[in-house]
Amino acid sequence: MRVALLGSGRGSNAEAVLRAQKDGRLSKAEVVGIYCDIPTAPMLQLGPKFGVPAFYLDPGPFKTKFSPEQEAFWADTLKQHRVDLVVLAGFMRVVKAPLLEPFAGRIINLHPTLLPEFPGLDGIGQTWRANVPEGGCTVHWVTAEVDGGKHLGQARVTREASDSLESFAQKIHQAEHALLPKVIAELAQKFPQL
C-alpha cells in the first residue's frame, strides 16, 4: 500500500509514521512521498532524513483551503505517484471534491480530540477549556464533513490535576504518534479492500 503523508508544519506525526516504517512496523505499507503546502515547513526536512521524496506543492492563494485548480493539481500529482492511501498528518487545509473524489475512501485524518467532541481548529485547546476529564486523538476517514468521517481508531489521555495545557498537549501528541502508525499498519493488512 503506497502512502502519501500530507502536512503543514513540524511533521511530528509524519516522523512517527516514518520511524514505524524504518522499524518494520508498517510491513505492508510504504511511504512514497511527503507533501507539504508550506515551502518552509520543517516537515520537508524529513524527506532526506528518512530517504523519502519530499515535495512542496503550491496550494493556491487561500490560507485554510485550496483553490479548486490547485487541489486538482495535488490530486493529479498523487495519482501520478500511484498513491493508495492519503494521510493528513497535521494538514491545515479543508479537503474538497477535487481531492476527495479521486481518493474516495482512501484519505484518513488524525485529529487531536476524541471525536465527535471538539472538531475543527485548536482541538486540544477546545478540550482543555472544556475542563473534561480526558482528551485524546482520533484517526478517521475524510469526508466532505470536516472531522465527520467514520472512526478508525482512538486513543484516550487522562487529564491529571497536575497537568498544564502544555503537558496535556504533549501527552496527546504522544498518543497520536502511537495511534497513526498503528491505524496505517491495520489498513495495509486489509489493502486493497479498504
SS3 139: strand
- What cell numbers appear for 103 in the block? 481518493
Is the pLDDT confidence value at 13 over 80? yes
Which are the catalytic amino acids?
111
Average pLDDT over residues 143-172: 97
The pTM is what?
Answer: 0.96
> Which domains are assigned to the chain?
2-190 (3.40.50.170)
The pLDDT tens digits of the residues spanning 135-155 come to 999 999 999 999 999 999 999
Q: Give me the amino acid identity at 70.
A: Q
Is the pLDDT confidence value at 61 over 80? yes
Is the pLDDT confidence value at 194 over 80? no
CA-based R_g, the chain, Å: 16
Is the pLDDT confidence value at 89 over 80? yes
What confidence tier does 193 reach under pLDDT thresholds 50, 70, 90? confident
- CA distances (Å), 58 to each of 3, 8, 72, 84, in order? 20, 12, 11, 22
